[in-house]
């Protein structure tokens, strides 16, 4: 027999190759299974549970940076959507049954299981998005137009309110929201900055997502000086949904 041969048909190199194949197959199985820790098991509209192969792994506790533990996969309550299917066949689109901007349907959908606590910075574990009035270490650069005092107009070009403050992300050092005092006197709301078109010349902010009247129903904050992760979900979904639901005309075909 040749050097390294165990029998007339098997040698060490062949065994090493087979061991590698088994290891690689096990590695692929492990990685695909671990990939199902988020979003699985899938639940169809009929209530059927879909896992595929391999099945989702058992729950595992992960220690987060603030010390608390989180299970993955984790049990979550079923989200409630205020919408009905337009047809009886499976997969039919949903249509809102109430206010389409808050019903959680289509472009106005938001993750209902988000944590209702502020997002925090990694180092000092303080609220990440904060108003400038409470944090003098941040200010608007002199090269940029200061939005405070600017008037805000909805898509119908009528006055919605006035900017009274800006909310900054302390980690990214960018403005996330404008705090708008509504002209109808119903309080203050946050306007995500990427939905605002600022004019330095006229000192006006135009919002093409929603009408002036719809500013009245913008989701409010439970704390005037902090915004939670869940509240940010609702805010962005409200303004984003306006591009389809703000006016009846927007829900119609272009042609």
Would you say residue 154 lies in a domain?
yes
**What was the pLDDT predicted at 255?**
63
- Model pTM score: 0.80
Q: Are residues 132 and 234 in the same domain?
A: yes
Would you say residue 118 lies in a domain?
yes
Q: Are residues 247 and 156 in the same domain?
A: yes
Decide which of 45, 75, 105 is a domain's last residue.
Answer: 75
Would you say residue 81 lies in a domain?
no
**What was the pLDDT predicted at 2?**
59
Q: Are residues 61 and 5 in the same domain?
A: yes
Would you say residue 83 lies in a domain?
no
The total number of structural domains in the chain stands at 2
CATH number of the domain enclosing 185: 3.90.50.10
Question: For residues 238 and 245, is the Cβ–Cβ distance under 8 A?
Answer: no
Q: Are residues 59 and 128 in the same domain?
A: no
Would you say residue 242 lies in a domain?
yes
Question: For residues 161 and 148, is the Cβ–Cβ distance under 8 A?
Answer: no
Decide which of 43, 75, 107 is a domain's last residue.
Answer: 75
Per-residue pLDDT of the chain (255 residues; tens, 9 = 90+): 555 555 667 777 888 899 999 999 999 999 999 999 888 878 777 777 888 888 888 888 888 777 788 888 887 777 777 888 888 887 788 888 888 998 888 889 988 888 899 998 888 888 999 999 988 888 888 888 899 999 999 999 999 999 999 999 998 889 999 999 999 998 999 999 999 999 999 999 999 999 999 999 999 999 999 999 999 999 999 999 999 999 988 888 776
Domain that holds residue 41: 1-75
């Amino acid at each position: 027999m040749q050097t390294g041969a165990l029998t007339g048909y098997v040698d060490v190199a062949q065994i090493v190759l087979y061991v590698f194949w088994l290891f690689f197959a096990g590695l692929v199985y492990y990685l695909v299974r671990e990939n199902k820790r988020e979003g699985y098991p899938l639940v169809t509209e009929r209530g059927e549970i879909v896992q595929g192969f391999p099945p989702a792994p058992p729950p595992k506790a992960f220690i987060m940076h603030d010390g608390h533990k989180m299970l993955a996969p984790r049990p979550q309550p079923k989200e409630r959507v205020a919408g009905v299917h337009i047809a009886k066949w499976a997969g039919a689109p949903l249509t809102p049954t109430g206010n389409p901007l808050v019903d959680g349907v289509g472009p106005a959908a938001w993750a209902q299981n988000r944590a209702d606590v502020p997002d925090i910075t990694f180092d000092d574990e303080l609220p990440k998005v904060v108003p400038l009035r409470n944090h003098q270490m941040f200010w608007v650069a002199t090269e940029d137009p200061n939005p405070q005092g600017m008037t805000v107009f909805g898509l119908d070009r009528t006055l919605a309110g006035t900017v009274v403050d800006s909310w900054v992300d302390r980690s990214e050092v960018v403005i996330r929201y404008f705090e708008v005092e509504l002209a109808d006197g119903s309080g203050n709301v946050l306007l995500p900055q990427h939905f605002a078109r600022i004019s330095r010349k006229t000192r006006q902010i135009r919002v093409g997502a929603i009408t002036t009247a719809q500013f009245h129903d913008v989701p409010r904050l439970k704390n005037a000086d902090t915004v939670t992760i869940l509240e940010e979900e609702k805010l962005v979904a409200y303004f984003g949904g306006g591009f389809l639901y703000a006016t009846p005309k927007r829900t119609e075909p272009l042609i």
